[in-house]
Amino acid sequence: MDTITVNLGDRSYPIFIGSGLLDGSDILKESTPAEQLLLVTNETISPLYLERVEAAFADRKPRSLILPDGEQYKTLEGFGRIIDELIEARFHRDACILALGGGVIGDLAGFAAASYQRGIDFVQLPTTLLAQVDSSVGGKTAVNHPQAKNMIGAFHQPIAVLADTNTLATLPPRELAAGLAEVIKYGLIQDLDFFCWLEEQLPALLGQDPEALRYAIRRCCEIKAEIVAQDEHEHGRRALLNFGHTFGHAIEALGGYGKWLHGEAVAIGMQMAADTSAALGLIDSADAERIGVLLEQAGLPTSASELAGDNILNRMRLDKKAGSHGMRVILLDRLGSAAVRPAPDDQVLRSAIGRHVTAGQ
């Protein structure tokens, strides 16, 4: 088992990465000291893992809430169902929520924990690759608005993250690929050696080689823990973690939060961001093509052909990272290094987006 610490002073917490962590391990129980527990999961995950987590806490008689599965359910209604459950059970301020699932469950449960009685503990039990490498770490919690993704939320750190790598064995290939999009992102924004390792080890990752997956998860969590410790509330460097996301979130919203998985939309967004970087002379066009090759080899899309470029651009302007001085985007200075920059003029963005859409062009 690997252990990584997110250093945030008295709110620091561990990330545990290993196999069998959900099977009644001492670490699971020791990481969750509260007596009142609410397990929040979804209809896909509950038949696979809910009983074993409930059994681990049988002496505390946890309550469980099973929500529908899908990004389209990451809404205020879903948030309200968790709050209703907490109130109905008369949970106190020293209670704890356990988020058992992927990024949607983690975001919903975390936002409910941030809001109930002005904040209670929660533990992340991520069961997808995307959640294990990214969304479960860092304390971003949110629900979607029909017009923009993650527009309603709060920063609220978990007290622990337990990434049980055994859960990845039940991931459909599409979900595994979606998680690899975020893995590739970490190499692109900060670690060229890791990006090169991914190019070499992609077949092992797609084949779910345990050691390759464990290393990838650990390296991503190390990078994210370092960045979050430096910039918890995204006033500066943490924005680099959104590489490809300004484009990708627009694509997700236009697809109704159901057509593309988050990682798929981010993959398209990273390709658009790479092409924007190349158009501005920040990277070579060969580097942008190299990124596209790796994304496609991972089974990820690099285009949203049926969308209109202007619609994507208009949705990007609603992105929560936009400030009083206009929209910002994360672009590459080179492979393994990114920076937050003011968005270039619309002509540059339209051109980069237009290479990956056909409708309305």
Catalytic residues: 118, 140, 182, 224, 234, 238, 242, 245, 249, 262
With b for 16 or more beta-carbon neighbours within 10 A and e for fewer, the 222-252 pattern comes to bbbbebbbeebebeebbbbbbbbbbbbbbbb
Phi, psi (degrees; rounded to nearest 5) at 157: -75, 140
Token pair belonging to 196? 């090169």
Q: Which two tokens stand for residue 197?
A: 């390792």
| DSSP string over 13-64 | EEEEEESSTTSS-HHHHHT---SSEEEEEETTTIIIIIHHHHHHTGGG--EE
Contact between residue 209 and residue 163 where contact means Cβ atoms under 8 Å apart: no
Encoding tokens for residue 15? Answer: 């990330």
Residue carrying the six token digits 């899309």: 301
C-beta atoms surrounding 84 within 10 Å: 12
Nearest 10 degrees: Cα torsion 247, 251, 253, 258: -140
The residue type of 191 is D
